[in-house]
Amino acid sequence: MSTTKSSIYSIAQLGHAALRARAVEVEDILSDECQQLINTMMLAVSEAGGVGIAAPQIHHSKRIFIMCSKPNTRYPQAPLMAPTAIINPEILHYSDEKVKDWEGCLSVPSMRGLVPRYKQITVRYLDQQGHVRQETLTGFIARIFQHELDHLNGLTFIDQLESMQDLISESEWYRQFADSN
């Protein structure tokens, strides 16, 4: 895939085959190709105003996602974190407790879902320099990690809903819930 501006910001939408395939492991993190993909993803998520994006969302079957939580119109209470490349991620431990909260997705732009996620997870991944990182994540950051990892496994937040009653249009979500978040 070329990295012209038109392809950098082309985010796969629900129904696209790229969102349903399991992404493949990254073997050479320090390659120019991988580093360029990470930079492209950083630009794409920033331009789209997201708090995370996975490589399959921009049509690349690689086990990479970016987490970049920050308060914005979609998530006004989001904590601030530096954009972080997460490569070949895995969850080592899940807390017993799950919490349901509202999620949206750049690939499902007009919907929100009330999604149950583990409140706390311990994760391991490689960073952009190829170093192994292990950490425990909680709350919204743990939610982002789980959401993006789903993308690497061919899932969207809609697949995690307990009921279709938990799906709502984004405009209705703003009308009903935006002031409380």
CA distances from 11 to 43, 56, 69, 133, 161 (A): 12, 9, 19, 28, 22
148 included as an active-site residue: yes
Residue 123: partners with Cβ closer than 8 Å, 6 or more residues away:
89, 90, 91, 92, 134, 135, 136, 137, 145
CA distances from 38 to 22, 30, 99 (A): 18, 11, 30
The SS3 of residue 56 is: helix
Q: Of 148, 162, 170, 172, which one is the catalytic site residue?
A: 148
**Tokens 């509202």, residue?**
102
Binding residues: 105, 147, 151
Closest CA to 59 of 86, 31, 40: 40
Binding residues for Fe cation: 105, 147, 151
CA distances from 2 to 7, 46, 78, 123 (A): 7, 19, 33, 32
Residues recognised as catalytic: 148
